[in-house]
Amino acid sequence: MQRNEPQLRGRTNEQIIVSMLTAEPCAPVDSIKADLKDPSLADMLKEAIDRHKRECDAKLIKHSNATDDYLIQDGVLLRYTGESGDVVIPEGVIWIWAGAFSGRTDITSVIVPEGVQKIFSGAFDGCTGLRSVSLPASLGEVSGLIGCGLDSIDVAVANKSYRLEGNCLISRYRDELVLGCNTSTIPAGVTSIRSGAFWNCKGLKSVRIPGSVKIIEEGAFWGCSGLEYLAVAEARSFRSWGNCIMDDRGNLILGCKNSVIPDGVVAIQMAFVGCSGIKMIRIPRSVTYIDKLAFYGCTELECFDVSQDNPVYRGEGSYLIERKSDAIVTCGKVGPLPARIAQINEYAFVGHNDLSELIIPDGVVTIGARAFSQCSGIASVFIPKSVNRIEAGAFEGCSGITQIEFACKSALIRCSFSECTALSSVKIPKKLTGGIFQRNGYLKTLFGNRFKAIEFTFTDD
């Protein structure tokens, strides 16, 4: 199943084509990409692709059990195409491949038969309607179920890898909580909680950490937007106060929409990721470090109430700002950008689809790496004269951007606009073009393969 990239150097044209087509024997035709400079190869390539498609179809017919509901190849369930939301996977499956059920929001329950050994990561991506799973004794890997936000889990008593307790799937070898659900109660005896164990369990209301837990991996409770109550049963490795969980070094590692951060916390890790219900958060004087993604996904957060005595941060509405650099660290609910800022830090707005027209205030000097990455709602961008540096991926994946206007005449721009698939118009000063815009190779790096389709307008300003 592993892709072997073709080696093209020193080969004939025919060998290049064969190498491309055999790199992934049953790849879809759309995924076969050639970088052939000789136009005379077009007919040869088309004929070879058509022949390859016929061979792939023949292989699938010969080696696959393709029913109306399932595509199974050599014991690997590749794709479910059925209409039923209550899925009973057929016998004979050994692996459930990545993407087999991805995006199927209509699926509500899955019964995995005896004989299945592994559910690959991504197998159930986007299955937000999945409520229950039943797992066999043979299953040894369940990473593909992470992020489903289940209501209930069942596993065969004879399973040698996992046991079920308190609606939690727990490793028999390390007493590690591997997978939880909306109705879980973490049992005593669990020593660690794996990253992603409760990811997207939006119906989970309360969490009580038993004293036996020594490790809570980062990301264990991301996306639990319904959390209202957090506590630690016994203060050993962790302690709790104000619906916050802290480690013994004063790092806040888990919060919820009802959290009140206590004085004495020195750092806020990625504690509030996906807490979409949080409206206001108080940052005490003692906090001197906040992770750049600590409040990722807190799209309803309207106020950072930062202590006036805090030496590192200040709040301005829904924006958290670093005092020394006047840099936006992160934001909650998006509003007009503050006027008195000099920098937009990396990941500050990542994934904020509520942004539409983006006018960056004059005075901003630096736009950090991936500062606006994946903000698909942005339609237009204005870069003021003050900007002299735009870091890599600053606007990567902003698929809604159609136009960009640069007012800056001198700037270092590092591959900042790749995957802006709708971009059609760029307005730039001529002085700027003398630097970065005169070389087609750099344009391709900066704007991706769409640079030839962009209409450039050059100004004298």
Asked if pLDDT for residue 274 goes beyond 70, the answer is yes
- In tens, the pLDDT along 36-93 reads 444 444 455 556 555 555 555 444 433 444 457 999 999 999 999 999 999 999 999 9
pLDDT the model gives residue 363: 94
What sign for the dihedral angle of Cα 408, 409, 413, 418? positive
Q: What is the pLDDT of residues 275-303, one digit of tens each?
A: 988 999 999 999 999 999 999 989 899 99
Helices (H) and strands (E) in the chain — how many of each? 4, 35
> Is 144 exposed, middle or buried (CB count within 10 Å of its CB: 0-12, 13-18, 19+)?
buried
> What's the confidence (pLDDT) of residue 60?
44
pLDDT at 124: 95
What distance in Å separates the CA atoms of residue 454 and residue 440, rounded to the nearest whole number? 12
404 strand-pairing partners: 381, 426
Q: What length is written for the chain?
A: 461
Q: Of 352, 364, 295, which is closest to residue 327 (Cα–Cα)? A: 364
DSSP sequence for 61-111: HHHEEE-SSEEEETTEEEEE--S-SEEEPPTT--EE-TTSSTT-TT--EEE
- pLDDT band for position 447 (50/70/90)? low
Report the predicted TM-score, pTM, of the whole model to 2 decimal places.
Answer: 0.79
Q: Mean pLDDT in the chain?
A: 83
The more confidently predicted of residues 287 and 425 is 287
The answer to whether 317 and 328 are in contact (CB under 8 A) is no
